[in-house]
Amino acid sequence: MYTYRQALRGIWTVGFFDPREHFVGESDHKTPEAAAARVAYLNGRPSVELERAVVHLALAVIELRGALRELAEGRAQ
């Protein structure tokens, strides 16, 4: 499992702990957000941006279903 930690001031390193509990760096990033995004990707999770897009799409589908239901009910009456 990948994680990140602040290696130096202003540098966050993404990596993992080997079986001997030594941290093995994979990449360096200028912000903790960038490091977190890389960790999410490496651990098989979608990025924050993708998660937000999926939530927005799901909300749009819910709104569309409601509008279609209202339209169908209005025509049925």
Q: Are residues 52 and 21 in the same domain?
A: no
Give the C-alpha separation, 11 to 29, whole Å. Answer: 6
Q: Are residues 15 and 29 in the same domain?
A: yes
Q: Which domain holds residue 8?
A: 1-45
**Model confidence at 21, in pLDDT bands (50, 70, 90)?**
very high
Q: Are residues 34 and 58 in the same domain?
A: no
Q: Are residues 8 and 23 in the same domain?
A: yes
The string of DSSP letters for 39-55 reads HHHHTTPPPHHHHHHHH
Number of neighbours of residue 13 by Cβ within 10 angstroms: 18
Give the C-alpha separation, 77 to 64, whole Å. Answer: 20
What average pLDDT does the chain have? 89
Note whether 19 and 1 are within 8 A (CB): no
Q: What is the pLDDT of residue 76?
A: 60
